[in-house]
Structure 1
Amino acid sequence: MEKRHLPSLTALRAFEAFARRGQMTTAADELCVTHGAISRQIRSLETALGLNLTEGPRHRLRLTEAGARLAAALSASFDQMEAALTGIRGDHHVELHLSCVGTLAIRWLIPRLPAFHALHPLVRVKVTESYAAVDFHRDRFDAAIRVNETAPIVGAEAVPFLENFHGPVVAPALVGAGPTGLEGLTRLTTGTRQTAWAEWEHHSGVTLPSPPDSQEFEHIFYTLEAAAAGLGVGLTPWVYVAADVAAGRLAAPLGFAPTPSKFWFLTPAGQSKPAVAQFRAWLLDEAAKVPPPPKVVRRAA
């Protein structure tokens, strides 16, 4: 058999990832390398082929006609390779790659995964944190979990599996004797949800006292840990703190109000992977076990 005359496989993978993802940074994240490494591999591939595969400003590169043709061929080839490897594994472990909103993964999903693995020991669930819009053509996820008022994307199968209730939580020792129990407490906020408190007042019909101070945290996970530590009162979906409230680590003096949003399980339209079907069935069973939240206590400040 004659020797194959192919460029570096590393360079081909880097170029295909960039072409599919559309950005150097996201391609670098996928391949666990630096932005500069992706750029260097693409330059080396262009040199080896003697062709320009990209054009335009450095921060807004686009594919040339030759680049688009090569990208299409590479994606098809890599898909074939992936399918072949999956088939060869046979009865060995199958990986299910799940894109999930981070706090749900940390505080609810991952603690329950041992139960899924006990039922399906050959399926390994790989969880990637993401809040971005789901695009199964761009991102090679088998499934995704997002929270939204409606099914977040067109062209995918979307199953709502959890209702979304939200409410204030605080360290039990800080609950006061005032009308709401939250008088005099610092209000803890999350940087990405600046309107959350106003939304809760609207959904619950409860008017909160003006806080003496506020403190912002980058992530809701930090906000909840700050509330448990006694730094003030935080706001959260019920599913994130049901276990903490049951254990007495957090108190919810005003209960939880329903919101228009739901937690959705998303899969590519027409997908029939057995592992995904098994995970979806298990997820619906686990969601059904979530206890109902404490009802809203409508007390005016």
Structure 2
Amino acid sequence: MSRPVPPPLNALRAFEAFARHGGMTAAAAELCVTHGAVSRQVRALQETLGAPLVVGPRHRLTLTPAGAELASRLSLAFSTIDEAVSAARARERREIEISCLGTFGLKWLIPRLSGFLAAHPQVKVRFSESHAPVDFARDRFDGAIRIVNPGQTSSRQEVTPFLPQHQGPVAAPGLLPPGLTLEAFARLPRLHAATFAESWRVWSELTGVHLPPAEVDREFAHNHSMIEAAASGMGVAIAPWVFVEPDIAAGRLIAPYGFALRPSQFAFLRPTGRKDAAVDAFRDWLVAEGAVSPPPTPSTGPDAGTRRGPPPADRTSTAPG
């Protein structure tokens, strides 16, 4: 006996998304279609079934008992489909796409990535560079690496911190010769990236060091450009430790006042409830690598032998004491 022909899958998917989100707009965002497209699919589904699924004013629709029951069963069915697809992918070579901060990828992630690929040869990792806020209802990558502040969570995202964030001033060794006074340090050109223009202010708040306005202020589009400018002697940059660790180890940069711990952390984000063994493995690898990542080096600049961290603030002037 043949099965009855089911309603169109697109209509069922649109109705399930509407019921789960409680609105057409959120459903449309998840499905990457317009509000009107979701509305038409829900209306077409009602006509196909010959039963009302939603009632109420256009902007305050609610589910009928029949609609609520159908939505519940559809959610279970789509979840089962997702699990079956994930299981099938897990048995074959799997490609995952990870959205990542560009400089973090260049300086920390890619130099370590061979370890993950050797341990998981069936997984291919593709990276896309971005620092934009993550919205998995809109974005189609499997996971993302971002800097996350305390309390910055979403019910749609599973957030796994894996690396603390330290930041401090870095410069080329020739720009900070032995005996350089702190007043002279305050007069050096200051570098910052457009993606984190407030870096000097944040460092000042973390350390209590209040510098006078910069005599020369130079902006770069990205952190990696700013770091290269610092290494070339163009000025002093405030940079995260994990971005400059290789350059400090190579002697291209020094950190005159060490690195201050920020409350934010590097974290791996993924959609809540989406099962994927390859993404699980990548997340767990990040956590393990973060646990063994070297901590910041001690101060190497002026008075490094007697001071840890930045100089004390001079409360009688705007220059460091």
Answer whether TM exceeds 0.5 for this pair. Answer: yes
Rate the CA distance shift 1:89–1:267 in 2: closer, same or farther, 3 A. Answer: closer
Alignment of 1:1-301 (within 5 A): 91-128=91-128, 129-135=130-136, 137-150=137-150, 152-155=152-155, 156-176=157-177, 177-180=179-182, 181=185, 183-190=187-194, 192-194=196-198, 196-208=199-211, 210-294=213-297, 298-299=310-311, 300-301=320-321
Rate the CA distance shift 1:140–1:152 in 2: closer, same or farther, 3 A: farther
Give the Cα–Cα distance (whole angstroms) in 2 for the partners of residues 178 and 89 of structure 1.
59
Give the Cα separation in 1 of the matches to 2:263 and 2:149. Answer: 5
**Identity across matched positions, percent:** 39
- Tell me the SS of whatever aligns to 2:226: helix
Distance 1:230 1:145, change over 3 A: same
Give the whole-Å Cα distance in 1 for the aligned partners of 2:86 and 2:261: 42
Contact kept? 1:190, 1:223, Cα under 8 Å: no
Cα deviations across residues 33-74 of structure 1 (Å, max 9, x unaligned)? xxxxxxxxxxxxxxxxxxxxxxxxxxxxxxxxxxxxxxxxxx
When the two structures are superposed, what TM-score results if normalisation uses the length of structure 1?
Answer: 0.68
Taking a change above 3 Å as real, the CA distance of residues 226 and 81 of structure 1, as seen in their structure-2 partners, is: farther
For the residue of structure 2 that corresponds to 1:132, the secondary structure is: coil
CA contact (8 A) 1:159 1:264 kept: yes
- How far off is 1:179 after superposition? 3.0
Give the distance between the partners of 2:205 and 2:131, measured in 1 at CA.
28
Q: Secondary structure at the match of 2:278?
A: helix
- Is the alpha carbon distance of 1:185 and 1:115 closer, same or farther for their aligned partners in structure 2, counting shifts above 3 Å? same
Structure 1: gaps (5+ residues): 1-77
Alpha-carbon distance change, 144 to 227 in structure 1, aligned in 2, over 3 angstroms:
same
Change (3 A) 1:291 1:90: closer
| Partner residue in 2 for 1:3 | none
CA distance in 1 between counterparts of 2:270 and 2:151 reads: 11
Q: CA deviation at 1:210?
A: 4.6
Query: Relative to 1, partners in 2 of residues 1:278 and 1:172: Cα closer, same or farther, differing over 3 Å?
Result: same
Q: Is the 8 A contact 2:134 2:144 kept in 1?
A: no
Q: Secondary structure of the residue that 1:166 maps to in structure 2? A: strand
Report the residue type matching 2:258 in the other structure.
Answer: G
Give the paired residue count: 290
User: 2:197 is aligned with what amino acid?
Assistant: R
Shift of the 209–247 alpha-carbon distance from structure 1 to 2, 3 Å rule, reads farther
User: What is the alpha-carbon distance in structure 2 between the residues aligned to residue 130 and residue 82 of structure 1?
Assistant: 28
CA shift in 2, pair 1:228/1:182, >3 Å:
farther
Give the CA deviation at 1:189: 4.6
Gapped regions of structure 2 (runs ≥ 5): 1-77, 305-309, 312-319
